[in-house]
C-alpha cells in the first residue's frame, strides 16, 4: 500500500521517532517515494529535526519542515496526517483556519495518549460547522500509539479497534506502523492500559536498566561496563522469552533454592519492588483514563 505524503503534526520525541523510523525504511517499496512533512512550532525545532535525519539517507531529500502558524500548508498535500502534538495543543491546531476543512477525506492517525478518537472528531466537527454549518462529519480518525523505539523499528504499537472504522483505513494504519516494529490490535476499552504498558513501558524498563547498572557501578564497575553488562543481561532474557520461554520459567531456571539469586529476588519482594511496578502500571493507566498527564515526551516540546 503506497503512501504518497505523510504529515506529522508535532515532532517532539515521539513524533520525531516516528518520522525517523519511517524515513529509515529505504528498502520498503511502499515508502520509496513517500514525501514527509514535519510541522513544528519553531525554527529551532525545525533545525533539530533536520539534524536528526541522516543527510545520506535517500529519504532526506523528501522531507519538508514547516514551522510557525502555517499548519494548513502542512496538511494540504498529505494523504495521511499523524497527530503527534501535545494533547493540550491539539484543539487550537485542528481549529486553525482551514485545517478542519482540509482534513476531511484524509486519513488522520492520532498518537495522543489518553485522548479518545471521538474527542478529536468532535473538535474537527465543531471547527468545520463554525465555518460552514451542516458540514461536520466524514472524518477518518484512528488511534495508533507507538513508542520511542519506532526510531529503530522496534516499537510495539497499539492500534485501536472500534466499530465503524473503515477496513481500508484500518489496513493502511496497520501497514504504516508495521514498518516501525510490531503492531497489536487492542479494543477501545483497553487502550489506556495498553498505552501504559507499551508506550510508557520503555520508561519503566529503562529505569530497571539504570538501577541494575547503578548497582554494578556501586560495586566497582565503571559506568560504561556496568550499563553494557546490564543491557546484555536484559537482552538475553528478552531473547529467551521471544524464543518461547515463559518468563517465570526463565526466572526459575536461574534461581537455585536458597542461593544468591533467590536472596536477591526475596529482597525485591520484601522491599515492595514487584508490587510497586505493578501498581505503577495501573496508576499510569488510571491517570490516562481520568485526566491528561503531561509526559516526558510532551514536555520536550514540538
3-state secondary structure (DSSP) of residue 252: helix
CA-CA-CA-CA torsion for 32, 53, 78, 81, nearest 10 degrees?
A: 110
Residue 9 in marked binding region: yes
The residues, ordered by sequence, that sit 6+ positions from 91 with a Cβ below 8 Å of its Cβ are 123
Residue 11 in marked binding region: yes
The residues, ordered by sequence, that sit 6+ positions from 107 with a Cβ below 8 Å of its Cβ are 79, 80, 81, 140, 142, 169, 172, 173
Can you say whether residue 205 is alpha, beta or left, with left for phi > 0 and alpha for psi between -120 and 50 degrees?
alpha
Residue 28 in marked binding region: no
3-state secondary structure (DSSP) of residue 244: coil
End-to-end CA distance of the chain: 29
For strands 80-83 and 63-67, give the pairing: unpaired
Residue 12 in marked binding region: yes
Q: How far apart are CA 239 and CA 157, in angstroms?
A: 19
* Length of the chain, in residues: 302
Residue 76 in marked binding region: no
CA-CA-CA-CA torsion for 136, 139, 145, 146, nearest 10 degrees?
A: -130
Contacts of the segment 128-131: beta carbons below 8 A, 24+ positions apart: 128/100, 128/101, 128/104, 130/95, 131/100, 131/101
Q: How far apart are CA 252 and CA 220, in angstroms?
A: 28
- Specify the residue for cell string 513508542: 147
Q: In this structure, what C-alpha cell is assigned to residue 203?
A: 520508561
Residue 10 in marked binding region: yes
Residue 291 in marked binding region: no
Instruction: Give the annotated binding-site residues.
Output: 9-14, 84-87
Instruction: Give the annotated binding-site residues for NADP(+).
Output: 9-14, 84-87
Amino acid at each position: 500500500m503506497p503512501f504518497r505524503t505523510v504529515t506529522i503534526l508535532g515532532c517532539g520525541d515521539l513524533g520525531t521517532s516516528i518520522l525517523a523510523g519511517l524515513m529509515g525504511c529505504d528498502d520498503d517499496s511502499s515508502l520509496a517515494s513517500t514525501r514527509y512533512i514535519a510541522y513544528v512550532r519553531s525554527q529551532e525545532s525545525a533545525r533539530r529535526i533536520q539534524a536528526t535525519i541522516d543527510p545520506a539517507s535517500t529519504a532526506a531529500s523528501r522531507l519538508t519542515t514547516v514551522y510557525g502558524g502555517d499548519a494548513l500548508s502542512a496538511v494540504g498535500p498529505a494523504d495521511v496526517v499523524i497527530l503527534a502534538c501535545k494533547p493540550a495543543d491539539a484543539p487550537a491546531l485542528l481549529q486553525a483556519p482551514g485545517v478542519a476543512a482540509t482534513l476531511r477525506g484524509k486519513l488522520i492517525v492520532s498518537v495522543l495518549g489518553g485522548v479518545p478518537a471521538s474527542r478529536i472528531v468532535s473538535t474537527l466537527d465543531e471547527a468545520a460547522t463554525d465555518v460552514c454549518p451542516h458540514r461536520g462529519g466524514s472524518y477518518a480518525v484512528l488511534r495508533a500509539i507507538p513508542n520511542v523505539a519506532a526510531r529503530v523499528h522496534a516499537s510495539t504499537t497499539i492500534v485501536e479497534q472500534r466499530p465503524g472504522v473503515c477496513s481500508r483505513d484500518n489496513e493502511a494504519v496497520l501497514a504504516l506502523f508495521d514498518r516501525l516494529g510490531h503492531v497489536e490490535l487492542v479494543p477501545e476499552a483497553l487502550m489506556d492500559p495498553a498505552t501504559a504498558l507499551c508506550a510508557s513501558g520503555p520508561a519503566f524498563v529503562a529505569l530497571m536498566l539504570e538501577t541494575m547498572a547503578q548497582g554494578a557501578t556501586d560495586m566497582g564497575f565503571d559506568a560504561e561496563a556496568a550499563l553494557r553488562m546490564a543491557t546484555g543481561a536484559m537482552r538475553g532474557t528478552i531473547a529467551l522469552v521471544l524464543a518461547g520461554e515463559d518468563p517465570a520459567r526463565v526466572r526459575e531456571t536461574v534461581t537455585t533454592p536458597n542461593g544468591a539469586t533467590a536472596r536477591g529476588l526475596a529482597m525485591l519482594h520484601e522491599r515492595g519492588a514487584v508490587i510497586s511496578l505493578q501498581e505503577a502500571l495501573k496508576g499510569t493507566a488510571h491517570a490516562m483514563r481520568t485526566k491528561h498527564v503531561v509526559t516526558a515526551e510532551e514536555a520536550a516540546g514540538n
